[in-house]
Amino acid sequence: MIDRAHKNFIQLVVLLLISVGAYVALKQSDRAPTQPAHESTQDIEVQGINKDFQGKLLKSTEGAFSEGYILYPVVGTAQVLLLDMKGKVRHLWNVDAQRARLLPNGNLLVVHGTKWGANVEPWKTLKFHVREYSWEGDIVWDYKAPGRVHHDIALLENNNLMFPYRTVLSEEKKSTLTDPKRRNAASIRTDRIIEVNRDKKIVWEWVAEDHLDVNSCGKPSCDEENPADWSHINTVSIIPPNKWFSSGDTRFRPGNVLTLFRNWWTAMIVDKENGEVVWSYTGDYKGGLSGGHEASMIENNFPGAGNILVFDNGRVLHKGESYVLEINPTTKKLDFIYDNGKDFFSNSAGSVARLRDGNTFISEDLKGRIFEINSKKETVWEYKGNLRIARAKKYEPDHCPQLASLSNEAH
């Protein structure tokens, strides 16, 4: 039997605990949001992010950038993240992506085989494939190429796809090499660019060695890059409608192909009709291009329309410093340069794009850093992860229905 004193003590403790609970609940209610929790979607991150990845928003200058969403392919986690401008992960695809593009229908177009994934199954096998995934991650289209697909892919207006794939120099071409070291190499890598329709038929093909001198390595000597990796195409970008062509300059015919040979340190435009190289750029800023990625012509209705952007890595020349260059293609003079010395450098990879508001979006891949600069070259937005990434890209909020839906949820 419990004596009366003991019973009174227990009752006192219970009353005390109830009072404390009520006080805590009251204080929590004072801090409760004014909107229901389900409306605070902007504060919710997607579940399932690989635990090896950590990312952080470092800078966000209010009113200095436009809203949008960023595809952020992480190397080493087999995930493509979709970030909002608050640095929150709003969606993800569980795929390894050396290049990922968000299509207007919300599907994800992917080239597999990152530096990590190229040696890890299933991505090791899938580096020969182009795939399109639904928003939910289901495979909706798959194409196995004649060789390893790499670096880039473009969706054309006719819904065809264009991308480079790796092959090797034929023995006939190899026998014409004048450098004994290159001629005696086991093989010399080269590239082809193909256009494939949705019935998986090749409808156009460009063979690098048929239009370029195999004894040339462009701007550098062949020994300044891997002499057995001759071309190393990393960009396939379609020339859009532009003022130069409208003025009669057929080099810039819409539909021509702007490409970049990393190991040549050279951007080129290939005439789609005859396959000839009709324009090239090696540059002269602090020694000129050294490597290079993501050559693209700025579209009409964007600041700088008609100019060509290039991410200049600085692999050998100006080593340790990368630059973003905006080139007037007719004069080859630079209308805009982003040079931040040793504080901006990605020895390989990287991307750059002009945005509609005039800002420039930059992906500093090896550092996992993405940022926006304004026309004064001031950083107005910045995010950094702890892992290498693969050419992040920003999209406008109405780019596809799914992004529009996310934007509506946030308001």
Residues 381-411 pLDDT 10s = 999 999 999 999 999 999 999 999 999 887 6
What's the confidence (pLDDT) of residue 38? 32
Domain positions in the chain are: 149-409
Quick check: 375 and 357 in contact, CB under 8 A? no
Nearest residue to 287 via CA among 326, 319, 317: 317
Helical residues (DSSP H) of 166-314, grouped into ranges: 171-174, 180-183, 208-211, 243-246
The yes-or-no verdict on residue 44 having pLDDT over 70 is no
Q: Is 195 helix (H, G, I), strand (E, B) or coil?
A: strand
The tokens describing 194, both together, are 């193909």
3 pLDDT band (50/70/90 cuts)?
Answer: low
**Phi, psi (5° rounding) for residue 160?**
-75, 165
What's the confidence (pLDDT) of residue 45? 73
What's the confidence (pLDDT) of residue 116? 97
What's the confidence (pLDDT) of residue 409? 84
The tokens describing 129, both together, are 């494939």
Domain covering 149-409: architecture: 6 Propeller (2.120)
Share of the chain above pLDDT 70, in %: 89
